[in-house]
């Protein structure tokens, strides 16, 4: 995914703005792996092989995505694909 593509994306659930956490890029600066998360509803969407996976909740399989998302965001995610707020 090109970094310019990120500016055109929004959360498919509530149309909120997304934060981007880049995990891996190629030599041209294209994003190969990363996380998109919605600023308002806290949903998490992975970027896998340069493709953002942004399916609606009802079409996502938590048990299939869990190993990948755990590797990317750790234990900060709930079973409804949302980030868990960390207490200080």
Cα–Cα distance measured from residue 35 to residue 6, given in angstroms and rounded to the nearest whole number: 11
- Whether 88 shows a pLDDT value over 50: the answer reads no
Mean pLDDT, residues 50-74 taken together: 81
Per residue in 60-69, pLDDT (tens digit) is 887 777 777 7
Picking from 10-14, 17-21, 78-82, which range would have the lowest pLDDT averaged per residue?
Answer: 78-82
- Sketch the domain layout of the chain as residue ranges: 3-73
- Whether 1 shows a pLDDT value over 60: the answer reads yes
Mean pLDDT, residues 59-86 taken together: 73
Mean pLDDT, residues 52-75 taken together: 79
């Amino acid at each position: 995914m090109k970094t310019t593509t990120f500016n055109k994306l929004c959360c498919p659930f509530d149309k909120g703005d997304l934060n981007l956490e880049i995990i891996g890029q190629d030599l041209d600066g294209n994003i190969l792996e990363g996380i998109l998360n919605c600023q308002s509803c806290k949903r998490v969407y992975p970027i896998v092989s340069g493709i953002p996976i942004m399916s609606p909740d009802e079409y996502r399989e938590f048990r299939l995505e869990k190993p990948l998302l755990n590797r990317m965001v750790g234990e900060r995610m709930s079973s409804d694909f949302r980030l868990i707020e960390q207490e200080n």
